[in-house]
Amino acid sequence: MRIVRSAAYATIPWKNGRGVTRRVAVFPAEAGYQALDWHVSRTAIGHDTPFSQLTGLDRQLLLVSGAGLILRLRSETDHVALERRIDRPLEPFAFRGDWDVDCAVVDGPVEVLNVMTRRGRAAARLEVRAFSALETLRKPAGETLVVFAAGSGLTAYGSWGTASLNVDDSIVVDEREATEIAVGSTDSSPVRAVLIRLDLL
C-alpha cells in the first residue's frame, strides 16, 4: 500500500512513438506493453493522433480535463466502424487495443486516465465516487485497488498513517491479503475519485 504522487509517475513512450504516458501502476512491475497484465496511466493528448495498436489488451479511457476528444474506431475482424465523442469528464469508454483508433481533440489539449488489461488474464472494474464524510474501502485478497484523486482535498487513512492527496495523485493498495483503507474529504466538500479494482483471472 502506498501513496503515488503525480510528480513520481514514470514517463514512458507510447508503443507507436507518437506521445508519452505517465504510468501510475503496472503489473508485473516494470512490464512493457507486450508483457503487462494490467496498467494504469495518465496521458496528455495535445493534438490529433492515431492511438497505438495494442493486440490482446482491453482498454478503458476517461476524460480528466479539457473539452474532449473524438475517437474513430475500426476493425474488419470485429466488424467495427464507429465514431465516439468523449466530452463528459470521468465517464469510462471501453474499447479493444487491437482496433485501429484515430483521435481528434475537440478544442485544445486534453488529459485522460487509461486502464489496460490483458484479455483473458486480467479484468478491471471502474467506479467514480464523490467522497465527503469518511468511508471505508475494502480490498479483497488477491485484488489490487487504485484510487485516483480527480480533485484536490482527498484524505486517506491506512497503514502508512494519514495522507492528503492533491489532484492527480493516487493510492495503490496491492497487498495480497484483504485490506481496508478509509477515504474522505479534508474539509467535508465532496471530492471525486476514480476507484479501479484490478483482478488476475
Query: Does the fold of domain 123-200 match that of domain 8-120?
Result: yes
Provide the pLDDT confidence category of residue 20 given band limits of 50, 70 and 90: very high
- pLDDT value of position 118: 98
Share of the chain above pLDDT 70, in %: 100
- pLDDT reported for residue 45: 97
Instruction: Evaluate if residue 122 carries a pLDDT over 90.
Output: yes
Can you give the pLDDT at residue 168?
97
- Spatial separation of the C-alpha atoms in residues 50 and 74, rounded to whole Å: 12
For residues 3 and 160, the answer to whether their CB atoms sit within 8 Å is yes
What residues are paired with 24 via a beta bridge? none
Class of domain 123-200: mainly beta
> What pTM, to 2 d.p., does this model score?
0.96
What number is the average pLDDT over the span 109-125? 98
Summarize pLDDT for 72-102 with one digit per residue, the tens: 999 999 999 999 999 999 999 999 999 999 9
Q: Which residues of 98-107 are buried (b: 16+ CB within 10 A; e: fewer)?
A: bbebebebee
Q: Domains of the chain: which residue ranges? A: 8-120, 123-200
For 133-148, the DSSP string reads: S-EEEEE-TT-EEEEE
pLDDT of residue 188: 82
pLDDT, tens digit, 9 for 90 and up, residues 102-111 = 999 999 999 9
Amino acid at 182: A
Residue 158, pLDDT score: 83
- CA–CA gap between residue 30 and residue 201 (Å, rounded): 20
Residue 154 is predicted with a pLDDT of 95
pLDDT computed for residue 177 by the predictor: 96
pLDDT for res 160: 74
CATH class given for the domain over 8-120: mainly beta
Q: pLDDT tens digits for 139-178?
A: 999 999 999 999 999 999 987 788 899 999 999 999 999 9
Give the pLDDT score at 104. 98
User: Residue 187: is its pLDDT beyond 90?
Assistant: no
